[in-house]
Structure 1
Amino acid sequence: MTGTNTGPHPAPTDSSRIHAILGMVGDKWSLLVVCNLRHGPRRFTELKRAIDGVSQRMLTVTLRNLERQGILTRTIHQVMPPHVSYELTPMGATLCATALPMVEWAFENSARIDDARTKYDARALKTG
């Protein structure tokens, strides 16, 4: 059967779908948003404060995209003044569990990566 996934690896016809999904969850901000929601619902301003460098516009775009993909839910609370919170769906929680070790790895190795880049760039200048 063409396009049927019969094992742990996607069939060749599924690769464009997998590529699109990985692109969606692997963009610059999505995993940080998902991991920031791991302890429960958060308001937009809480997420904005927690994610260094994200603009209001990019956070809005990212939240809408994650909601569209079924990764999180958006709830409007009818209080005065009204506010909105975001929370992981069950699928979003599994994404977080999968992604959190990678986010932690990036945090733990950021200084070593910076050092490696500096050394590489210095070598490239000498030979380039």
Structure 2
Amino acid sequence: MVDKVLATDKALALIQKLGEKHGALVFHQSGGCCDGSSPMCFSKDDFRVGRHDIYLGDIGGAPFYIAKDQYEYWKHTQLIIDVVKGRGGMFSLEGPEGVRFLTRSRVFTEEERNELQMK
């Protein structure tokens, strides 16, 4: 089964740490503006999923959404959420940790695209 979004071990460890501090989490792939194209992590109670947001899957037990227009650009890729040193989005929960989430991607193979179309 092909995942549309997954997380590295470093990202999963950070998600667990943030979940212990903040409770249930939710991710949203930012589409630009103030924070660039960063994956943003929020407390589940502090974020409202929009009617045009698309659910891609869960990472570390947290649902991951992307805006429909942003999804159109990235629908042919698997999003891989990683962690790097530095400051991320000003509203994302990992900011005080001195690290930020980062989206990497890879293009789905033809076989994977076919499998995703069958879902």
TM-score by length of 1: 0.24
Q: Which has the larger radius of gyration?
A: 1
Q: Which structure dedicates a bigger proportion of its chain to helix?
A: 1
Q: Which has the higher strand share?
A: 2
